[in-house]
Amino acid sequence: MKYKIFHKKSCAYYPRANGQAKSTNKVLISLLRKMCYLHPLIWGTTYLGVVWAYMTAFKIHQQEEKRTIVNSTLEKEQRKRKAWHDRNLWKTEIKEGSLVLQHQPSLYNKKEKQLSTRWTYPYKIKEIFPQGALRLSTLEGDQIPLVNRSRLKPYQEPH
């Protein structure tokens, strides 16, 4: 024990992986036989192409399966989030002729965070369309382009 070298014996055999290696080798050998049928001495140069084709085709198949699973999960999650969001979205009573405030984030002043507002002064609802679209007008009667209902809140008269 002069140099403190210890010898450990281990076995490289792994029974679960052995079956996978055998099936992969079987596929590769069958592909090589097909590619080298007329010229059996070129198997050394053909081998790399066969391995590349096998690995690429296998990975593409796996990626397609994963992509379909992810897409279906994503669609379910989006529907669930939309339902949760829409559940609270339409609770406020907004009718034609009522006054509302419109949210405009571009009016937000970063220097004066506490004193600035992002809501513009009251607009009158002219028309309500399906799916939450509204046509607004100013109190003077000027038309404003269509606005989504989620950007509005009812105007409360000051007391």
Task: Give per-residue pLDDT as tens, 127-136.
Answer: 888 777 889 9
Both 30 and 70 in one domain: the answer is yes
How does pLDDT run across 79-102, given as a tens digit for each residue?
A: 999 888 777 665 667 788 888 888
Nearest-angstrom CA–CA distance, 157 and 121 = 11
Residue 20 and residue 73 share a domain:
yes
Lowest mean pLDDT among 15-19, 36-40, 45-49, 93-97: 15-19
Res 73: pLDDT: 93
Tally the domains of the chain: 2
Q: Residue 64: helix, strand or coil by DSSP?
A: helix
Q: Which structural domain range is residue 143 located in?
A: 99-154
Looking at every residue in the chain, the average pLDDT score rounds to 78
User: What pLDDT does 56 receive?
Assistant: 74
> How far apart, in Å, do the first and last CA atoms of the chain sit?
95
Residues 75 and 49 in one domain: yes
Task: Please indicate, yes or no, if residue 23 is contained in any of the structural domains.
Answer: yes
Neighbour-count burial of 46, counting CB atoms closer than 10 A to its CB (0-12 exposed, 13-18 middle, 19+ buried): middle
In this structure, what DSSP letter does residue 62 have? H
Is the pLDDT score of 77 beyond 90? yes
Mean of the pLDDT values across residues 11-27? Answer: 69
At 75 the pLDDT is 94
Q: Are 109 and 84 part of one and the same domain?
A: no
| Residues 20 and 84 placed together within one structural domain of the fold | yes
64-74 tens-digit pLDDT: 888 899 999 99
